[in-house]
Chain A
Amino acid sequence: MIRLSCEDVRREISNYLDNDIAPARKKLIEKHLEQCQNCAVLLDSMHNMVVLIADERRFELPEGFGNRLRDKLEKEFTAFQEKRRSE
């Protein structure tokens, strides 16, 4: 049976995390992960990193963003309606 090196696993670890990998390849990676603490830690911490960076609480819009956007859009909408009427 083919054995993967740590380097092989590292190259595909991100695809593995996204479950974007052929089933046979996935099995080989899992086999490696069972026996390699370093790669297992790499996978876990990358997973945690991805969870943290996507945490909604990080994303606050600047104060007043919505109001300022609405002001601009309203002008845009008026221009749009005027253009429609003149056509």
Chain B
Amino acid sequence: MQPHILSERELIAEILAGNPERYYELIAPLERRIYFTAFEILRVEADAEDVAQEAILKAFRSLASFKGEARFSTWLFSITINEARMRLRKRREVSLDSPAEDGSGSDEDYTPITLADWRELPLDTVLNKEMAAHLEQATASLPLSYREVLVLRDIDGISTAEAATALGISEGNVKVRLLRARLMLRDYFVSHCLLPKSAPAGRGRR
């Protein structure tokens, strides 16, 4: 007989009924995404690890109060985001000299660089070490509020509605921020990582 695969709700009931070690099953598919959500916000490995693990522990401690209205993953992502925001605030209090993190991003329309200036990001672009480093820089260049949306939607792969719940903003807001994040990311990536290396325009070359 096939072993019965427990639903999230059943698994949580099992854990609370005295089988805490089954919590591993609940978090296993999420560990990496939780860490990277924290990392995208904090940009420092050690801080991201602390925050990711604290969020996982916190979720365990308050599992009994989890109402199951949202999915467990959405709930855990929102705990992670709150923890990471708290850590950012603390960091700012400690080092007043450091440049302030742009928490809001602009509400102005974002206009990408003139399209005629663009080179296409080639379809066969492959992810290698160098490319991964460029992507890091590109995401790091985004304002925090855009990074949060980008990581939830495009890295964690959660829905617009879930991201709105996790961040406490409207779905419309999620979409607008995601659009700007993607445009800015592409702008940064293409202009910093692809254009400098591109061959000069064909004019005058024999």
Contacts and interface: CB of A to CB of B under 8 A. Distances in A.
Interface of A: 6, 10-11, 13-15, 17-18, 20, 38-39, 41-42, 44-46, 48-50, 52-55, 57-59, 61-62, 65-66, 68-69, 72-73, 76-77, 80-81, 84
A72 B45 contact: no
B56 interface: yes
Nearest to B32: A59
B180 to A, nearest CB: 9
Contacts of B160: 18, 20
B53 A81 contact: no
**Which 9 A/B pairs are nearest by Cβ-Cβ distance?**
A38-B115, A14-B179, A45-B121, A77-B20, A48-B121, A55-B127, A49-B186, A41-B120, A80-B20
A73 B60 contact: yes
Interface in B11-32: 18, 20-21, 23-24, 31-32
A11 B175 CA distance: 10
Interface stretch (B71-79, B99-107, B131-139, B198-206): B131-139
A19 to B, nearest CB: 12
Interface in B97-149: 112, 115-116, 118, 120-123, 125, 127, 131-132, 135, 139
A62 B52 CA distance: 12
Contact of B115 (A6, A11, A80): A6
B50 to A, nearest CB: 10
A20 B174 CA distance: 13
Contacts of A69: 31, 53, 56
Interface of B: 18, 20-21, 23-24, 31-33, 35-36, 45, 49, 53, 56-57, 60-61, 112, 115-116, 118, 120-123, 125, 127, 131-132, 135, 139, 150, 154-155, 157, 160, 175, 178-179, 182-183, 185-186, 189-190
12 contacts: A14-B175, A15-B175, A20-B160, A38-B116, A44-B121, A44-B123, A50-B154, A57-B132, A58-B127, A59-B36, A62-B45, A84-B18
B57 A61 contact: no
B118 A41 contact: yes
A69 B61 CA distance: 14
A64 B191 CA distance: 36
Given A14-B182, A54-B157, A81-B18, A62 B49 contact: yes
A45 B119 CA distance: 9
Contact of B122 (A11, A39, A48, A77): A48
